[in-house]
Structure 1
C-alpha cells in the first residue's frame, strides 16, 4: 500500500509572492527556499476549495504536508503541450475544416492561415471544455 492519497487533500496554504520570489507555507510550515519553481492556482467558485499546483525541483526527502486542495506536479514545456495538442488533430478533418472556412481568402499562405485559425479555434474549445 502507498501512503499517498489518491486525491489531493485539503491543507492550509499561504503564498506571499513578490516578483522573483515566493514564500509558500503548507499547514503553516515554510517550504525550503528554492524548492518551488512556480505554482498555479485554480478556483471554480461553485466547485469548492481552490486547487494549488506546486512545481518543484524534486529534491530527495522532500515531504509536502500540509485549506486548498494541494497537488504537486511537474510542468510540461510549451513545446510538449503543443505536440500533445497537435497529436489529437485529424489531418483530413483539419484540411476540410480549413478549406471550407467562410473566411478562406485565397492567395499566398491562405491555406496555412485557415489551418492556423482552425487550430486556434480547436485550442480555445479545448480550453473551454467544448469540442
Structure 2
C-alpha cells in the first residue's frame, strides 16, 4: 500500500473550527478527530464522521477506525477532584437548581457537576 500523506488544515477556536483535506472543506462531515504525531513521523489523523454524512469516496485510502474513548476514567478523575463541602455550598447557592421537590439536593448537585464538567459554571473560590 502506498504511504502517501495528505495535506490537512485544521483551525479550531473554542468549540468550532474548520477542517480541509487536500484542499477540500470537510468540516460538515466530521464530528471530531484525534491528531497525534511521533518525532520523525508524519502526523496521524483519525476522523470521526458525522452521522449525517452521505458522501461518496472512490479511491485508495489508509483507514483508521475511531472508537470513542471510555468516559469512565475521565469521570472518575473529575469526581475525585471535587471537594464535597465546595459542592454542597455551590449547590445551595444555586437557587435556580433548588425547587423544593424530593431529592432536590441530589438533583442540584448532579446538575452542578454537569455544569462544571462542561465548563458552563465555575466553582466559587472560597477564601
Same fold, TM-score > 0.5, yes or no: no
What TM-score, normalized by structure 2, do the two folds share?
A: 0.45
What TM-score, normalized by structure 1, do the two folds share?
A: 0.44
* Structure with bigger RCO (C-alpha 8 Å, 6+ apart): 1
Higher strand residue share: 1
